[in-house]
A and B are shown apart, each in its own frame.
Chain A
Amino acid sequence: MTVVLNQSFTGVGIGAVLLLVALGLTLTFGQMGVINMAHGEFIMAGAYTAYVLQRSVDGTGLSLLLALPPAFLVAGTIGALLEWLLVRRLYARPLDTLLVTWGVSLMLQQLARDVFGAPNVQTRAPDLLTGNVSVAGVTLAANRLAILGLALLSVLALTLVLRLTPLGRRIRAVVQNRDLAEVSGIATERVDRTTFFIGSGLAGVAGVALTLVGPIGPTMGTNYIVDAFLVVVVGGIGQLKGSVITAFALGVLQSVLEYSTTVSVAKVAVLVAIVAFLQWRPQGLYTLRTRSLA
């Protein structure tokens, strides 16, 4: 029983990481249809922001918490810049954005290597987050709990922004019908840039959280990028709740398979399961009803 509970929590922990890295993509890929391969490097930018901040502020691990807003801003700004320079010219060719942003991601990785050096760097986590708590015989790692909390908080904030604010209404309007939004007086280009800013910023937030569990280095983003896209694809493009369910489902599936077989087998099995799932539901878990033919 403890094993089952332990593994379930582990799965939720893996899912929380997946959700956090995929959350930004639900906006940039899910809402805008941009395949941004540099998303992983925005995560990296967030992690390095935490590192730089901690070095200059020095002191306790609490500065990691303080790093969240600057990381959002830094990654968001890089994202908005990318949108303004390149992506907006490519809205008509989404597959080409994939290749273009792949080039951008190469350059950003090399930039990190030149600025911070090729070896990994480290941040100090707050003491509170390096321990664990035991509940009913199950050990809950504090850092996983923190990531879970942060992921859920981000989902909540994003939902509120999309549902309740004027900006959210404009974003939804542009996604649902760009032309109609435009004739209604919405500055669609500005909405695009803002959406991209928020999506990229969320990657920065994920980057700070990942310093709790993984390495911080120039190639850290590449570890997460494909998984993140798969979460959004399986969840259904443009569907926040689909991504949330998918992230946790994949996390639990991965942890259960890893427990009963090996990591490689689990990874391959999850990937094959995804391919099979998309045969069954090619539009993902939840679909946005549109009038387009395909």
Chain B
Amino acid sequence: MTTTAPPGPASATTRPRASTPRRLRAPAAFLLGAVLLLGAAPLALPDSRLNLLAKYLCYAIVAVGVSLAWGRGGLLVLGQGVFFGLGGYAMAMHLKLADAATAGERLPDFMLLYGSSDTLPWWWQPFADPAFALAMTVLLPMTVAGLLGFLVFRRRVKGAYFAILSQALAAALSIWLVGQQATTGGTNGLTGIQGFFGYDLADPVNQRMVYFVIAVALLLLMAAARQLFVSRYGELLVAVRDSEERVRFLGYDPANVKLVAYVVAAGMAGLAGALFVPAVGIISPALIGIVPSIGFVIGAAVGGRASLVGAVLGAVAVAWAQSTLSDAFPAAWTYLQGLLFVLVVGFLPGGLASLGALRRTRRRAPASVRAAAPTTSAVATASTKETA
């Protein structure tokens, strides 16, 4: 997938002229991705590995949103855990209620154990309806993001403030969830989810189905995001990232432009959280706090924040490395992880995806031009403006 040329950061500023081979590149890459994800992976991987891949793909869905909001919009979204969690809890609440109904119980199992009342809390009740719960997995995060973004961007809170505020919010939600054990399951979170809309999750066939749903969702969202990237709105977003003041003087409202990216990214994180629940069978406050929120961004940063494919591959690769390497060398992995962030973010801001583009420009351009290679400078200027 990488070799088939991701839409590198370069294309963000200098939109390529549509020559025939270039025009075919994106759909070709998309097809290849679809074949790999939906054909090769399920055939080549045993059930347990495929299940892990499903989990990584959920992180990749978050990364698509991060790529939009951060890579293109310059908004360092350090609170994606909040939206991931809202989506996850909305889905898990419905599945727990459905499980309880199957088992003939009035309440989900953890409420019977830890709860203090015999009735379902009012805010749980609507989640018994599958359509409502499904809609909430996306609408709830989008509403919260919309409200927050509306206030924050209008007041021109940006850069560092926005990043730290997002972190504070992630911390607050996770502490609150932990504190309400009787109705949220506390630190345990919602666990032991058994069915997914009537299908038994213990059955490997149904686990595969969940994988396919996640993979298809990822592909569709990538296609939609790419569509956004190349649209007029995408250009405006990059313009806001690179020079917010200039966009304002041109008569646009940068707050609205940023708000859309923020809300869409939140919706994607919510959907990812919702799909995470059937894939892993658990959602807990540990997946929401500050550390996981940074984790969501790091994957995209390593792969290449402004490149869709880069961000997605980065998220999958970092998650994969986390679970395999941390096992074999727990201490060494922590160093390696730290070093990776330092080197990639510090010295290769375009992420690993920019390596190819960098090489191409070097080969073509004379030394004098090299210094101003679009890959690095585009991102660099972007962030300069953020906190100006």
> Which A positions have Cβ atoms within 8 angstroms of B?
29, 33, 35, 86, 89-90, 92-96, 98-100, 102-107, 109-110, 113-114, 226, 229-230, 233, 237, 262, 264-265, 267-268, 271-272, 274-275, 278-279, 282, 292-294
Contact = CB atoms under 8 A, between A and B. Distances in A.
Candidate in B156, B176, B337, B338 with the most chain A CB atoms within 10 angstroms: B338
Given A100-B345, A226-B167, A264-B176, A94 B339 contact: no
Interface of B: 76, 78, 151-152, 155-161, 163-165, 167-169, 171-172, 175-176, 178-179, 244-245, 290, 294, 297-298, 301, 331, 334-335, 337-342, 345-347, 349, 379-380, 383-384, 386-388
B179 A265 contact: yes
Report whether over half of chain A's contact residues are helix, strand or loop; otherwise say mixed: helix
Report whether over half of chain B's contact residues are helix, strand or loop; otherwise say mixed: helix
A224 B165 CA distance: 15
Given A100-B341, A102-B341, A95 B387 contact: yes
A294 B337 contact: no
Given A100-B342, A107-B339, A282-B156, A95 B163 contact: yes
Nearest to A108: B338
Given A268-B175, A271-B169, A104 B383 contact: no
A50 to B, nearest CB: 24
A176 to B, nearest CB: 15
Contacts, number: 134
A104 B342 contact: yes
B388 A264 contact: no
A104 B338 contact: yes
A264 B380 CA distance: 40
A141 to B, nearest CB: 26
B161 to A, nearest CB: 6
Contact of A96 (B156, B171, B334, B346): B346
B156 A294 contact: yes
15 contacts: A33-B387, A94-B383, A96-B383, A98-B78, A99-B297, A99-B345, A103-B337, A105-B338, A109-B334, A229-B164, A267-B171, A267-B175, A282-B157, A294-B245, A294-B388
Nearest to B76: A95
A114 B346 CA distance: 25
Q: Return the 9 tightest CB-CB contacts between A and B, nearest first.
A: A103-B341, A264-B179, A107-B338, A106-B338, A93-B383, A271-B172, A110-B334, A103-B338, A103-B342
A106 to B, nearest CB: 4
Contacts of B168: 226, 230, 271, 274-275
A259 B117 CA distance: 26
Contacts of A279: 151-152, 155
Contact of B169 (A237, A267, A275): A275
A98 B76 contact: yes
B337 to A, nearest CB: 6
